[in-house]
DNA sequence: CTGAAAGCGCTAACAT
DNA sequence: ATGTTAGCGCTTTCAG
C-alpha cells in the first residue's frame, strides 16, 4: 500500500519518532538527520496520514461550517471570509449546506462532531434548544455568525439588525414617505424579526402609523418577492417607497414597479439589504444597507480560532458596523450614511 | 473524556465487536442484543469517532471538492448538485476554494489526499501535468467537472463548450449581424479557448470575416467586462451584437450600451452564457446559453461514486446537453433552441 | 451470533 | 538528539 512513517524511518535508518519530529517541525533534530529524512520523504513520496494523526493527537485541524445556502450571494461572500481566515490559521473547512432545515442542521452538526472537527461555525435562521443541547454535548467551541441564540450564551458575530433596519426605514421617512412598504423575511427567524422590529420602531418614532397591508413576507429571493409585490400594486393607496430586506427582493420591487409603469426612484424609492454585488449590477443601482459580509465571516472564524487555541476572549458577542450605501434607487437629496456601534 | 465504543460494550455487557456491529448495521446480531446495545448507546450519548473509524477501515466517506470560486453563482449552483448527490450516497464534502490559482489547487489536492478523502472532484481552469502527477500519486478516483485534461485520460463531465459558443454566435449571425463582438474569458483556460474557437468557427462557416478588434478578454466578472466594453464603444464601426461568455459580462455589455444611449435589443443584441439566476433578474432579461449547472455537479458526483464503489463505468467522458434560453436581450424573430449531443 | 485480538498510521510521553 | 513504547477508537479477521 502507500508509504507510511515506518517505511521512511527504516529507509532513513532512524526511528519513526524522528521522522514524526521532522514532519512536525520539531526543532530537536540534528540538521543532518533532518536533511536525510527529508530526502527519503521526497524520494518515497511519503504523505502523512491526517486521519492517523488526528486519532493520535486528537486534533484534526478541521472546522465544520454550516451554511444555510451556499448558492446565496450573501452567504457565499461570508464563506470567503471564513475560508481566508481558516487558511491563515491552517485549518481546513468542511462546508455544509443546511438549506435552513432544522433537521438537516442537527444531522450536520452531529456528523461534523463525529468527524472530530476542532470547532464549529454555525449559521442558521434560528438556534433552538436542540441546537444548544447538541453544542453542549460537544467538547469543541462553537461560534455563531449572522445569528444569535435566545440566551446569548454562545459567542456570535452579527450586525445590529434592528438598528440597520431602523436606519433604512429612517432614510425613507426622511424623504417624506409615509406609506413605506416592508418586504421582509420570515418573522420566525432571528434576522427577519429583528429587521421587522427596526422598521416598526422607526415608523413609531416618526409618528407614522404602522399598517398591516404594507407588510409582505417572502423568502429573500427575487422570484418570490416579485409575487408578493403584486399585493402592494393593487392597494388603493400604493406605497411610495419599499424597504426590502434583501437585495434580490429589492430588485424585484423595482421591477414590479417599473413593469407597472412607475419610475424608480422618481415615483417610488427602494432600498435593499446586504449589498451583494447584484446591487451594483442592476439599473437603477440599488441603495442598500451594507453588511460587512466578508468581515462577518472573517471575524467569526478568527473568534473561533481563539477559542480553539484557548486564547482569552474579551468580547464573545461581536457587532460589526453597518452602513447605508446610497445609489440610484433612492433620490439624491440625502447623503445620509449611517453607521452604528 | 468522551464515551467510546468500549464504554458502551462494558455497560451493555457485550464485546466491542458487537457494539461495532450494531453501529454499522451488521445483521449478525440477535435482536435482543441489538436493542440492549442501542439503549446503552442512547443513554450514554455515544457518538462514533469517524477518525478512528477512518483509520481502521481506510474509508472516510468524505470526498474533496475543489472549486475555483464559491462566490460565483455558476459554481455555487454546481456545488448544490454535487452536494445533493453526495448526501444521497452518504458522503460528506470538504469544499475548497482555489481562486483559480494553480499553486493553491495543488496544495489543496495534497491536503485533501492527506485527509484520506475517498475521492476527488476537481474543477479548475486548466489541468496541467503537475495536476496529473498528483492525481496519479493518489490511490483515489478523480473526476473533473467543467474542465478536461489535455489527454482526456481523466473522467469528466462537461457541456460541449465549442458547440455552445458556436450556437450562440450562430443565433446572432442568423439575425443578420456581421459585427459580432466576442467578450470572452482567458484563452489559456479550457472553457475560454473552446468558446473562442466556437465563435470563430461560426463566423467562418457563415463567411463573416473575423476581426481582431471585436474580441475582448475579461475574467467573467461584471466590473471587468464593463471596462472592456469601453473599447467596443469607441470603435468607428461599433459591433451590433455581443456574445459574452458569462451572464455577468453580458449584463455589463447591456449596461455599457444602454449608458451610451443604445437600446437592447432594438439597437444591439446581447447573448450571455451559463444561465445563472441573474439572467432573469435584469431588464431586459438575458438571452443566454444555458448550461445544466446543477446536473453537471450531480452527474460528476454520481460518476465519482461509481468509481469509489468500483462500479463499472461505461462513459468516462460525459457531455451534457446545452440549450439557448431566448429572453429579452435578443430580438424575438427567431425562436431557435439548439440542443447538442 | 458473539468475542478475542491484531492492527490502521501516527503522536507523545518517557527513556536513553 | 534520538529511540522505545503505549495508546488514540475503531474495524476486521478468525475462532468458537
Protein-proximal nucleotides of chain C (any atom < 7 Å from a CB)? 1-5, 7-13
* Residue B333 confidence (pLDDT): 66
Question: What is the crossing angle of helices B16-23 and B5-12, to 10°?
Answer: 110
Beta bridge partners of B184: B217
CA distance A134 to A301: 20
SS3 B42: helix
Give the count of beta carbons closer than 10 Å to the beta carbon of residue A220: 25
Superfamily covering domain A161-292: Response regulator (3.40.50.2300)
- Are B71 and A79 a contacting pair at CB < 8 A? yes
Give the residue nearest to nucleotide C7 (CA to C1').
B56
Using DSSP's 3-state secondary structure scheme, residue A119 falls into strand
- Which CATH superfamily groups domain B62-159+293-320? Response regulator (3.40.50.2300)
Chain D bases having any atom below 7 Å from a protein CB: 1-5, 7-13
Query: In chain A, what residues touch B247 (CB-CB under 8 Å)?
Result: none
In this complex, the residue with its CA at the shortest distance from the C1' of nucleotide C5 is B17
Put simply, the answer to whether A71 touches B51 (Cβ < 8 Å) is: no
Per-residue model confidence as pLDDT tens for chain B (341 residues): 689 999 999 999 999 999 999 999 999 899 999 999 999 999 999 999 999 999 999 999 999 999 999 999 999 999 999 999 999 999 999 999 999 999 999 999 999 999 999 999 999 999 999 999 999 998 899 999 999 999 999 999 999 999 999 999 999 999 999 999 999 999 999 999 999 999 999 999 999 999 999 999 999 999 999 999 999 999 999 999 999 999 999 999 999 999 999 999 999 999 999 999 999 999 999 999 999 999 999 999 999 999 999 999 999 999 999 999 999 999 986 444 444 33
Q: Is nucleic acid strand D under 7 Å from A16's C-beta?
A: yes
Q: Does A80 contact B71 at a Cβ distance shorter than 8 Å?
A: yes
Alpha carbon separation from B41 to A87, A115, A139, B12, B117 (Å, rounded) = 36, 18, 18, 9, 28
Helix axis angle for B31-44 and B5-12, nearest 10°, is 120
- Residue A43: how many CB atoms within 10 A of its CB? 12
Q: Which residues in range 47-66 of chain B are in contact with strand C, contact meaning CB within 7 A of any of its atoms?
A: 52, 55-56, 58
Q: Please provide the distance, in angstroms rounded to a whole number, between the alpha carbons at the two ends of chain B.
A: 58
When the candidates are 3.40.50.720, 2.60.40.10, 3.40.718.10, 1.10.260.40, the CATH number that belongs to B5-48 is 1.10.260.40
Number of H helices, E strands in chain B: 12, 12
Q: Which of B50, B79, B83 sits opposite A114 (nearest CB)?
A: B50
Strand C contact with A339 (CB < 7 A): no
Digits of tens for pLDDT over chain A (341 positions)? 689 999 999 999 999 999 999 999 998 899 999 999 999 999 999 999 999 999 999 999 999 999 999 999 999 999 999 999 999 999 999 999 999 999 999 999 999 999 999 999 999 999 999 999 999 998 899 999 999 999 999 999 999 999 999 999 999 999 999 999 999 999 999 999 999 999 999 999 999 999 999 999 999 999 999 999 999 999 999 999 999 999 999 999 999 999 999 999 999 999 999 999 999 999 999 999 999 999 999 999 999 999 999 999 999 999 999 999 999 999 986 444 444 33
Domain range list for chain A: 5-48, 62-159+293-320, 161-292
What nine digits make up the cell of A96?
A: 455544509
What are the φ and ψ backbone dihedral angles of B49, each rounded to 5 degrees? Answer: -90, 105
Q: How distant is the Cα of A211 from the closest Cα of chain B, in angstroms?
A: 29
Instruction: Judge whether A13 and A5 are in contact, CB under 8 Å.
Output: no
Taking C1' of D8 and every protein CA, the nearest residue is A56
Residue of chain A minimizing CA distance to B95:
A95
Evaluate if the CB of B16 falls below 7 Å from strand C. yes
The reply to whether residue B277 touches residue A222, judged by beta carbons under 8 angstroms, is yes
Residue of B nearest to A83 (CA): B97
**B108, B134 in Cβ contact below 8 A?**
no
Span CA (A16) to C1' (D9), Å: 22
Sheet holding B92-97, edge to edge: B92-97, B62-67, B119-122, B142-145, B156-159, B317-320
Answer for A116: CB within 7 Å of strand C: no
| Digit-coded pLDDT (tens) for A208-243 | 999 999 999 999 999 999 999 999 999 999 999 999
At A57 the three-state DSSP class reads: helix
**Do the two domains A62-159+293-320 and A161-292 of this chain adopt the same fold?**
yes
Measured distance CA(A246)–CA(A276) in Å, rounded:
9
Question: Is nucleic acid strand D under 7 Å from B2's C-beta?
Answer: yes
Burial of B319 (0-12, 13-18, 19+ CB in 10 A): middle
Q: Which amino acid residue lies closest to nucleotide C8, measuring CA to C1'?
A: B56
Of A50, A70, A283, the CB nearest to B115: A50
**Closest nucleotide to residue A116 (Cα to C1')?**
D9
Amino acid at each position: 500500500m502507500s508509504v507510511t512513517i515506518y517505511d521512511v524511518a527504516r529507509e532513513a535508518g532512524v526511528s519513526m519518532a524522528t521522522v514524526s519530529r521532522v514532519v512536525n517541525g520539531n526543532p530537536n533534530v540534528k540538521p543532518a538527520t533532518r536533511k536525510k529524512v527529508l530526502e527519503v520523504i521526497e524520494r518515497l513520496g511519503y504523505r502523512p496520514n491526517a486521519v492517523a494523526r488526528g486519532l493520535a493527537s486528537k486534533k484534526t485541524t478541521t472546522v465544520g461550517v454550516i451554511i444555510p445556502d451556499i448558492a446565496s450571494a450573501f452567504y457565499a461572500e461570508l464563506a470567503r471570509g471564513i475560508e481566508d481566515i481558516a487558511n491563515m490559521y491552517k485549518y481546513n473547512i468542511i462546508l455544509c449546506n443546511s438549506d435552513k432545515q432544522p433537521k438537516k442542521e442537527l444531522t450536520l452538526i452531529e456528523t461534523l462532531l463525529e468527524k472530530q472537527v476542532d470547532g464549529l461555525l454555525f449559521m442558521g435562521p434560528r438556534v433552538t434548544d436542540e441546537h444548544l443541547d447538541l453544542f453542549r454535548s460537544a467538547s469543541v467551541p462553537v461560534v455563531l455568525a449572522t445569528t444569535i441564540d435566545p440566551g446569548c450564551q454562545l459567542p456570535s458575530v452579527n450586525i445590529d439588525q434592528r438598528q440597520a433596519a431602523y436606519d433604512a426605514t429612517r432614510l425613507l421617512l426622511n424623504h417624506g414617505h409615509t406609506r413605506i412598504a416592508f418586504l421582509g423575511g420570515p418573522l420566525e427567524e432571528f434576522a427577519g424579526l429583528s429587521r421587522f422590529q427596526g422598521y416598526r420602531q422607526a415608523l413609531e418614532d416618526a409618528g407614522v402609523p404602522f399598517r398591516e397591508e404594507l407588510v409582505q413576507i417572502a423568502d429573500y429571493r427575487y422570484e418570490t418577492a416579485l409575487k408578493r409585490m403584486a399585493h402592494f400594486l393593487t392597494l388603493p393607496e400604493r406605497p411610495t417607497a419599499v424597504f426590502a430586506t434583501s437585495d434580490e427582493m429589492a430588485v424585484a420591487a423595482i421591477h414590479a414597479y417599473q413593469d407597472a409603469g412607475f419610475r424608480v426612484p422618481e415615483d417610488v424609492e427602494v432600498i435593499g439589504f446586504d449589498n451583494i454585488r447584484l446591487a451594483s449590477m442592476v439599473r437603477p443601482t440599488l441603495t442598500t444597507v451594507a453588511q460587512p459580509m466578508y468581515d462577518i465571516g472573517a471575524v467569526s472564524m478568527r473568534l473561533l480560532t481563539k477559542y480553539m487555541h484557548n486564547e482569552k476572549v474579551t468580547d464573545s458577542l461581536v457587532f460589526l458596523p453597518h452602513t447605508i450605501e446610497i445609489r440610484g434607487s433612492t433620490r439624491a437629496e440625502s447623503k445620509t450614511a449611517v453607521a452604528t456601534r
